[in-house]
Amino acid sequence: MKILGIETSCDDTAVAILEILPSRKGRVLSNVVSSQVKLHAHYGGVFPALAAREHAKNIDKVFKLALKESGLKSLDEIDLIAVTRGPGLIVSLLIGVAFARTLAWKYQKPLIGVNHLEGHICSNWLKSIRVLTNFKTQRSKVLPALNLIVSGGHTELVLMKEYGQYKIVGETLDDAAGEAFDKVARLLNLGYPGGPIISRLAKEGNAEKYPLPQPMANSKNFNFSYSGLKTAVLYLLRDLKKITPQMKADIAASFQKAAIEVLVKKTANAAHQFKVKTIFLSGGVSANKLLREGLAQAAKQELKGVKFFKPSLDYTTDNAAMIALAGFFNYRAQKEKTDFSWKSAEADANLKLSS
C-alpha cells in the first residue's frame, strides 16, 4: 500500500510517499520538506500570513518533487492520501487540506485527516517500520508509553496506553519550549531558529553562572510554563546592561539548563507515576543534546527498566512521512477493524478532547 502524506501545519511545506509492503515492512519512498525558516528569521518566529502564502506558492512544486523522487509515475499508483488536519496555524492547514482534497477528488483516492501530534508520535517508528507494523508482538514491550512532544509550537506529555489511544497528561500553559529558545535567542540577538544556536553557544558557557527559574518544576501536575523563564532572561539582560560575548554564552548555557532540566524532570515524574515501559521523544527540540542525554540518564538511573527510545533526527522535525504513517494506521483501523483501537480519523481532530 502506498500513502501520500501532506503536512502544512506550521512553516514547513512537506510531502512524502510511504510504502507499506504486504510483509509489513515499510519504506519511505520520498520525503520532501521545503522550509520557510529564512523567511521567518526576520520576525524571530513564524508569521502566519506569510507561512500560508508560501505554502500556497510551494505546495505543487514540493508535491511534484516528492512524486519524482519516489519513482512513481503518477498519483494513480497511490492508495491513500493523508493530510494534517490540526492542530496548527489555521491559514497554513487550509492550504494542505485544500490541496489534498483536490488530489483526492481528481484521482478518486481515499483521504484521511491526521492529528499533527499523532504524526510526531508515529515519527518514532519511521526508522524501523517493521517494528511498528508488528504491533501484537511489540505491544507488551512498549506499552504503556509516554511521549514528550517538544517543538516551536508544542510542549506536551502524551500517555499512550494503547496504540492510537492518547491522553495528554501535561502541557505548556503558555509558550512552547522551542518558542522559548527562539525568543531568548532573539533577546540575545542570535538569530532564528534559536534552539540550535543557543545549544551551540551554550557549549562555551557556564550553565551555573546565572541561576534562572524553572517555573512549575515542583508543581504536582505535569504541566509546563516557559513565559516566566523568558521574562527572567529579559530582566537579567536589562540588569547586566553591557553584555560581553562570554556573558552571552553563559546566559545561553544557564537558560538551556533551566529549560531542559524541567522537561527531563517532569517527563521522569510522569513516567514513574504512569508506570510506563517506554519514553518517546519527538519535535524539533528533540535535537537538543542535553535533553536526549537527560532522558537517557533518567531512564537508566531513576527509572530502572524504562526504555528511552532515542529518536532518529531524520524525522523529528515537521515532515510528511510521519503524517503518511499515522494516516496509514488510522485508515487500516477503520478498514480492518483491528483488535486494538486506533482512534477513528473522524475523532482525532483534536487530541485535547481526550485529556
Q: Which residues bind ligand KG4 (CB under 6 A)?
A: 10, 151-153, 178-179, 181-182, 193-196, 199, 283-285, 287-288, 317-318
Write down the least CB distance from residue 151 to ligand KG4, Å: 3
Which one, 114 or 185, has the nearer CB to Zn ion?
114
Q: Which does 288 bind (CB under 5 to 8 A by kind): ligand KG4, Zn ion, none?
A: ligand KG4
Q: Return the one option of Zn ion, ligand KG4, none that residue 194 interacts with (CB less than 5 to 8 A, by type).
A: ligand KG4
List the 111-115 sheet strands across, edge first.
Answer: 26-35, 12-20, 2-7, 80-86, 111-115
Residues 138/191, Cβ–Cβ less than 8 Å: no
Binding at 178: pick from Zn ion, ligand KG4, none (beta carbon under 5-8 Å per type): ligand KG4
CA distance 64 to 1: 20
Q: Which residues pair with 114 in a beta bridge?
A: 84
How many CA atoms lie within 13 Å of 312's alpha carbon, on the beta-carbon side?
12
- According to DSSP, the β-strands at 80-86 and 12-20 are unpaired
Stretch of 107-115, 124-132, 314-322, 333-341 lying at the interface with Zn ion (CB under 5 A): 314-322
Q: By C-beta, is 178 or 294 nearer to ligand KG4?
A: 178
Q: How far is the CB of 119 from Zn ion (least distance, A)?
A: 8
Is there binding between residue 70 and Zn ion (CB under 5 A)?
A: no
Interaction between residue 151 and Zn ion (CB under 5 A): yes
CB of residue 61 vs ligand KG4: minimum separation in angstroms? 20
Phi (first) and psi of residue 287, to 5 degrees: -70, -15
Minimum CB separation of residue 87 from Zn ion in Å reads 9
Evaluate whether 70 touches 33 at the Cβ level (below 8 Å).
no
The DSSP-derived string for 119-170 is: HHHHHTTGGGHHHHH-HHHHHHHH-SEEEEEESSS-EEEEEEEETTEEEEEE
Residue 17 belongs to what H/E stretch? strand 12-20
Least Å distance, CB 72 to ligand KG4, is 27
Q: From 58-66, 208-216, 245-253, 316-324, give the range in contact with Zn ion by CB under 5 A.
A: 316-324
Q: Using the rule CB under 5 A, is 318 a contact of Zn ion?
A: yes
155 binds Zn ion (CB under 5 A): no
Query: Which of residues 67 and 89 has its CB atom nearest to ligand KG4 in the complex?
Result: 89
Distance in angstroms (rounded) separating the CA atoms of residues 302 and 192: 35
